[in-house]
Chains A and B, each alone.
Chain A
């Protein structure tokens, strides 16, 4: 399985760095259907946005993002330096139509097979996995 990674510090790095990492990943993953690639990218960006959002406002957030592209599977792991996060990742209900936020986690559930969070070596670890079909 091919893996690519990136180390970020936010600020000044933004979510755009995640897109740039995925441009590199997709260069080596042309065997995976574009629709599967896009859904994975959307899930990873949602997850990273969530991680950035939970960072302490007055502290730099350091994080490492690792993306693995296998024959029939995509996986993304985000490690971040923030404090432990008390978050409920199980929510799948979309908020009311006129709510401006709260759709990220429910959306991730619709895009991946697994979503998990745990604490490893004083870092937060967030992980998503999605099975992927081969391009025709």
Chain B
């Protein structure tokens, strides 16, 4: 899996994930989110459009990232989940908890 991080605004970090999000790659998300919160960007957007595989280990990393972001006074939003990522969110009922957004750049607009 690859993660590229960009800034949408002063306190929002957009993380674009691509490839497989499984037990091997899950820790990368935690490291990227901690780096963002440590540098004053506690509002995190995870862009999952290019995730070709996601399992419960990957989902666990997303939940951990959500808690890290909230713990730092921010939040986490999911943008453009691929069909593979959406399947896991739906089967685990996490689609009722997480907000999905069409555009990573505007996921935090309006609060």
Interface residues of A, Cβ cutoff 8 Å to B: 14-16, 19, 38-39, 41-42, 45-46, 49, 52, 94, 97-101, 103-104, 106-107, 110-111
Contact = CB atoms under 8 A, between A and B. Distances in A.
Contact of A110 (B66, B67, B84, B91): B91
A107 B60 contact: no
A103 B22 contact: no
A100 B24 CA distance: 15
Interface of B: 20, 22-24, 53, 55-57, 59-61, 63-64, 66-67, 84, 87-88, 91-94, 96-97
16 contacts: A14-B23, A15-B23, A15-B24, A19-B53, A39-B87, A41-B53, A42-B53, A98-B66, A99-B63, A100-B60, A100-B63, A100-B67, A101-B56, A103-B56, A103-B92, A110-B91
Contacts of A38: 84, 87
Contacts, number: 63
A101 B59 CA distance: 9
A52 B53 contact: no
Contacts of B94: 97
B20 A19 contact: yes
Given A46-B55, A103-B59, 7 more contacts: A16-B20, A19-B22, A97-B96, A100-B63, A101-B60, A107-B55, A107-B56
